[in-house]
Structure 1
């Protein structure tokens, strides 16, 4: 047995195996050889047979789909003396990710798992991967039959568009005796997402379709008509088409030769081993037409004759039984000896031709985990059948991988088929992609017939995700927020319980199902003190290995905040801390001041920055402050607990004063987003693929971090919506799909600010005109209503944690600057005036404290005003 010696690269991918490790490539020519210069080398057929022959898929834009290919070695002898075999798949177009896996199933059978690139735009991708088998790592010499081409035909449909599928109830493969009854019809289920579709039979007159077109989800029936067909094999395709998508299913029909009754010459039985074999009738007579007695005897155990005696003219029935002796498929010879009185004995040759039965499945592969590696809630089923008509035979599955369970692993099966249901067990495998080839074996008389099933699993990290990771609590005279209930979700959708602990005596946490109730006791604390605690959440499910931490703060104030407090130093940029009762303000210079919004006092100053600062953002848990360093093409990161610079994040594209930044946690993974589309993983500052944004502008993020809306800050307003997710497999993958229905021009002029409701069902837009903040639905940006703000030109919009909406605008009149609406946006609850001297509210410089009870804003004279909003 040759040793496996793997070597890895991105794409192309080198893998050394003991025999043809499929899907490979090397560069370079073939082996040596002698002979004259005019000798033409023989043409060598491909070294591998691929199943399927063409890699096909229909994938939704922004997602990755796992594709499976099996490869069988055509000539094992070509590799018998090889010390190592290097194999490579070359993809020059970026259709697949560089994380292909090749697994050896036997010396002559391999399979590979590929994943389509999630960055592919909508459209159809056709071409061929180049596959080579090499004798050395540099591929200076190739094995016979290399290189090979593996065609692919991949359709990427836009996000939100349903993928066309066509799934037969059983394989479209049938056999029929010439002149016999037609094979059973097969139902094909079609899913088209409401679109119309057409069906064609590839021009085969023997392939009958119950319908050639339809609308929406439906089905059609495939039937076979062998009338007039000569014996032999027939093949065609069933093609289902809808818009740009096609599903092509191969169809095969075998017409078996009839059992031949050649008078008294010979008889032939042709049958599938294990299927019922029709008997044949032989007529007997004497050539002189005189009745005489006869006897009949068989010389083979599997051949029976009845009756064994009688008088001519007569008929005798020949029947065969392959279960006698448990025959293997092949050709068998026997004879019936007919002896008549006063006649020479005659021998009737009988031939039995048995073809192997075919064990088949309705699908050749199954993938678990979904595109994000978290969808394990449902099982998947397939039909296993054996073309032995009504005769049933035992079958058995190989040992399943530890991460896969099945309702049955053995039993009996015939043409009607049996249903196998599989369910992933993600707790039994590691992160990333894994695959296994499982063989189903049927025992039919002396034959062992097999079929192979390829199973794959994508597993993301299993996590608990609190709805809030920063919880600000307040205790001041007249205002109190000392309890908070947080919902904890399981990213697999299989919540299995949890426990939680607090690291501070003044904060207790209670667990009820998937909810945490936090309760603070301020009596232990001193006045005008900020106190912090950490809640640690531990999952009961052992598959959830990472602890989740929730930051909690409690401000105990000696006095209720004044209705209005100001900070007179000139500032241009403001951001709120989601955890602490603080805002951070700068004027574009080298320092950032910290203010307590409840007292209006300056709590400190952050220093060490460059002289040109831009937009700021705070992490959702309040751990860090990020600020754009315009001069040095980077983002500076500040540890807010230590109040010191902790790191510098270099930018691939420099930021400007117009660059907006946001910090989000899709699937609990923290990312830094820039308005030009740049994305960075904050854990290690790794740059990810750019987002499909539209040239800059203010951004709003849903509470779960999975929906982004960008609004342009230009005279004509355009919104761009993107669905976001992040999975840890494949070295970490960001999924970003533009939502076309919610990405287009919108009414109004001169976009200023945008916000998303807590439940991500509504988008709120502030633009200079009209003089109202717009309410839009998230799905398609349809206008649901407007929130008027008098004579002010809207330039700020914020939504508090309790759902109240704050629309602010610039006005020099005595009118209010800020209007507070109820959560429906239909009722004005309060109006506020920032400046009595006619100063204007700056665009995008209005923020809310974490609990939403204090509003802070900058006017064009640089003054920060703190407004006490209250519960």
Structure 2
């Protein structure tokens, strides 16, 4: 197959031109110093490329090109250089750099797919007056002979394959098929074949060589509602194989509208308030704006613009020093479109604005912040949970009779329920936050410890409780849904519940994970949790050190930013949500980061275990800029790992220390 490489505009030739010009013939000339009608425009050094290559690896071919008659280029507005490869020995990448007015260095790159053996031939080099090469300069085209000896590598790396995205996908019947997936094949020094046992999957190519990729497309047009599984089998010529399982769930043709967040906290105080919030509405039908929103309370208004919903509160008529509630209902004029969950809104109207840090001398070990109310829930590993109002710093309730040895807690994204582990009974306790009463206990399928974590998420508007011991439960009834691959570390999730991130705790080096989540009502409830990328140890700040002693992980509500707190390096870090690579270190900070949280307004809070530091918590803007620092713990004391929380309105910060203290800090807007 003829390969014509992209032309390189070589305007540098013009600096050597003195006069003359004219068209070139089409008979290739040897790249030498021969003169005459077919004298080459360039002399190549060496005149023939001889190079030993390693199979499966792209190598660089370097040579020099000398302009034989600079005056041939006089008056030309540009010179375009083409390298024509008839058999595919090269990659479509070429670099030319100027050494002098007549001397140039050229770099070509060999294809990693070349088979073991000898490859000989000629490259055709053209110097053209235009990008279409309708007219050539004198002495063009030219031939550049090559001889490549491709050898097997001494030691081949392990054969493998990986997908760019999760291969667990879902769609609605008759809807748009999932996006294509790129499958990278790590086949250095080998040839390979790829097949699939599923007629609804299509591979872009069935054979290949070396390190390359293929594209996977979904063909669901003939599939009905159900769950379909397939396998992509990739085999190398040395007997190795890789199997990539694929799952596609076809849901009934029922469109939904979902808000980006299911719970909203608003606040009104004399000095500062937060009375508006804008949410994004996801309409799975693809009809932008095909929805309406209504509030059941006069003090809360709704306004839509495209797929944005703005909630605005007028607290004038509301009682002071009290929480007022409203429910926003989404609906559509299309009867086939449903809204599976309402938006819960709570507004605290206070007669005073907190002005200073409050430190309460109580020993607590676990904390959780209510996403809509100005309340926090704390316990010390016993059988009860204390409730505090962060604006008054007063304990408002104690929830008793919950269990013998309480552990990790999580709260519904809309503020409906509080979930707490009972480590002694290997169970999960469910508390209705509207009534502050225990309403259920679920027996879990495995032993629980102080390292067991739980997280309430809402994929497709259905609340699920995910654990870090590989299990997941339907929140409506405690039904065990399935075992998952989430089986280690601290957990965080995006507001829509479609992404989960995890980091192991207290291990060097640290490892982070990213998972794609999807839920369907099929078969009584089907949850798919798939790794987005392979687990990775992240390289830290400019020193290049690997992150160690993982302590906490957080993600912004929209999933655009992931943050980790690690004992080293001595800064909280921002990671790519796509591949978990290191992006930047947050400014400020000190040894040793052990808490990181993201507020509803996008601000980021990084806390440390800093016994002698002047500050132990730093506030950053959503863009990462440092705003200010605070000191929570007393002298020679520190914040407890993962025991910092942000109020639902993003205006109050709370932390537990080993003084022991419960510290409540007014951050403000």
TM-score (norm 2): 0.63
Q: Deviations over 1:366-389 (max 9, x none)?
A: 23789799xxxxxxxxxxxxxxxx
- Asked whether the equivalents of residues 496 and 541 of structure 1 are also in contact (C-alpha less than 8 Å), the reply is no
Offset, 1:533: 1.1
Unaligned runs of 5+ in 2: 1-159, 168-179, 194-202, 230-247, 540-545
Query: C-alpha distance in 1, partners of 2:341/2:661?
Result: 39
Query: C-alpha distance in 2, partners of 1:667/1:467?
Result: 10
SS state of the match for residue 368, structure 2? Answer: strand
Return the match for 1:767 from 544, 548, 566. Answer: 566
Q: Deviations over 1:259-283 (max 9, x none)?
A: xxxxxxxxxxxxxxxxxxxxxxxxx
Offset, 1:676: 1.2
Return the match for 2:293 from 500, 513, 516. Answer: 500
The aligned counterpart of 1:851 is 649
The aligned counterpart of 1:174 is none
Q: How does 1:803-818 map to 2 (within 5 A)?
A: 803-818=602-617
Residues 1:656 and 1:671: Cα distance change in structure 2 (over 3 Å): same
Q: How does 1:765-804 map to 2 (within 5 A)?
A: 765-804=564-603
Query: C-alpha distance in 1, partners of 2:405/2:657?
Result: 20
Unaligned runs of 5+ in 1: 1-155, 164-189, 201-215, 219-238, 248-362, 374-431, 434-456
Offset, 1:846: 0.4
The aligned counterpart of 2:638 is 840
Query: C-alpha distance in 1, partners of 2:338/2:165?
Result: 36
Q: How does 1:239-258 map to 2 (within 5 A)?
A: none
Q: Deviations over 1:729-764 (max 9, x none)?
A: 233221111123454465222110011123323321
SS state of the match for residue 523, structure 1? Answer: helix
- Asked whether the equivalents of residues 799 and 806 of structure 1 are also in contact (C-alpha less than 8 Å), the reply is yes
The aligned counterpart of 2:34 is none
Query: C-alpha distance in 2, partners of 1:742/1:510?
Result: 42
Q: How does 1:221-240 map to 2 (within 5 A)?
A: none
Q: Deviations over 1:94-131 (max 9, x none)?
A: xxxxxxxxxxxxxxxxxxxxxxxxxxxxxxxxxxxxxx
Return 755-764 or 675-684, whichever deviates more: 755-764
- Asked whether the equivalents of residues 258 and 339 of structure 2 are also in contact (C-alpha less than 8 Å), the reply is no
Query: C-alpha distance in 1, partners of 2:281/2:364?
Result: 39
The aligned counterpart of 2:222 is 366
- Is 1:861 the equivalent of 2:659? yes
- Asked whether the equivalents of residues 528 and 557 of structure 1 are also in contact (C-alpha less than 8 Å), the reply is yes
- Is 1:712 the equivalent of 2:511? no
Query: C-alpha distance in 2, partners of 1:664/1:793?
Result: 29
- Which of structures 1 and 2 has the bigger CA Rg? 1
- Asked whether the equivalents of residues 538 and 547 of structure 1 are also in contact (C-alpha less than 8 Å), the reply is no
Return the match for 2:452 from 654, 659, 683. Answer: 659
The aligned counterpart of 1:529 is 322
Q: How does 1:391-540 map to 2 (within 5 A)?
A: 458-459=251-252, 461-495=254-288, 497-540=290-333
Residues 1:372 and 1:494: Cα distance change in structure 2 (over 3 Å): farther
SS state of the match for residue 765, structure 1? Answer: strand
Residues 1:607 and 1:614: Cα distance change in structure 2 (over 3 Å): same
The aligned counterpart of 1:700 is 492
Query: C-alpha distance in 2, partners of 1:199/1:752?
Result: 42
Residues 1:631 and 1:511: Cα distance change in structure 2 (over 3 Å): same
SS state of the match for residue 366, structure 1? Answer: coil
Offset, 1:502: 1.7
Return the match for 1:585 from 352, 355, 378. Answer: 378
- Asked whether the equivalents of residues 461 and 728 of structure 1 are also in contact (C-alpha less than 8 Å), the reply is no
Q: Deviations over 1:413-434 (max 9, x none)?
A: xxxxxxxxxxxxxxxxxxx99x
Q: How does 1:245-644 map to 2 (within 5 A)?
A: 366-367=222-223, 458-459=251-252, 461-495=254-288, 497-644=290-437
- Is 1:160 the equivalent of 2:164? yes
SS state of the match for residue 548, structure 1? Answer: coil
The aligned counterpart of 1:444 is none
The aligned counterpart of 2:440 is 647
- Asked whether the equivalents of residues 538 and 582 of structure 2 are also in contact (C-alpha less than 8 Å), the reply is no
Query: C-alpha distance in 1, partners of 2:404/2:287?
Result: 50
SS state of the match for residue 463, structure 1? Answer: strand
SS state of the match for residue 316, structure 2? Answer: helix
Query: C-alpha distance in 2, partners of 1:835/1:810?
Result: 9
Query: C-alpha distance in 2, partners of 1:776/1:564?
Result: 31
- Asked whether the equivalents of residues 413 and 495 of structure 2 are also in contact (C-alpha less than 8 Å), the reply is no
- Is 1:721 the equivalent of 2:519? no
Offset, 1:494: 3.7
Query: C-alpha distance in 1, partners of 2:588/2:220?
Result: 62
Offset, 1:562: 2.6
Question: How many residues in Structure 1 have an aligned counterpart in Structure 2?
Answer: 457
- Is 1:737 the equivalent of 2:530? yes
TM-score (norm 1): 0.49
Return the match for 1:672 from 433, 454, 465. Answer: 465
- Asked whether the equivalents of residues 465 and 668 of structure 1 are also in contact (C-alpha less than 8 Å), the reply is yes
